[in-house]
Amino acid sequence: MRAHQSCSCGVAVDHVVARRRTADGETLQLWHSGDVSGRFGYPPGLKRAQGRVALEARRRAWIVVELYDWAELAALVASHEAEVRVEQARVAG
Ligand SMILES: [Zn+2]
């Protein structure tokens, strides 16, 4: 496990803070770091979130994740990553 110091609950190691199911019934876990995984690994095409864009995209995807199948999650996250990058570019002018 990787040590963290950012969680408001005080637990200092990686831990799951919420679970949801995809439309096709797979369990997803929201980690306190903001990462999203299945119980036994990442959905196809996804890996551990690295950086602010990746985490923001997962935060947005988490809101609607129950509407998508397991196999669609990588595309869902990728679309949110693209959205975040567009917004960043707009803010940067
Ligand atoms: Zn926590």
Neighbours of ion ligand 1 (CB under 5 A): 7, 9, 11, 32
Contact, 34 vs 49, CB < 8 A? yes
Cα separation, 61 vs 63, in Å, equals 5
Query: pTM, whole model, 2 decimals?
Result: 0.87
pLDDT in tens, the chain (93 residues): 455 556 888 888 889 999 999 999 999 999 999 999 999 999 999 999 999 999 999 999 999 999 999 999 999 999 999 999 999 999 998
Q: Which two tokens stand for residue 71?
A: 């196999």
* Distance of CA 29 from the midpoint of ligand 1 (Å): 13
pLDDT score recorded for residue 70: 98
pLDDT score recorded for residue 8: 85
* Distance of CA 14 from the midpoint of ligand 1 (Å): 8
* Distance of CA 16 from the midpoint of ligand 1 (Å): 7
* Distance of CA 89 from the midpoint of ligand 1 (Å): 32
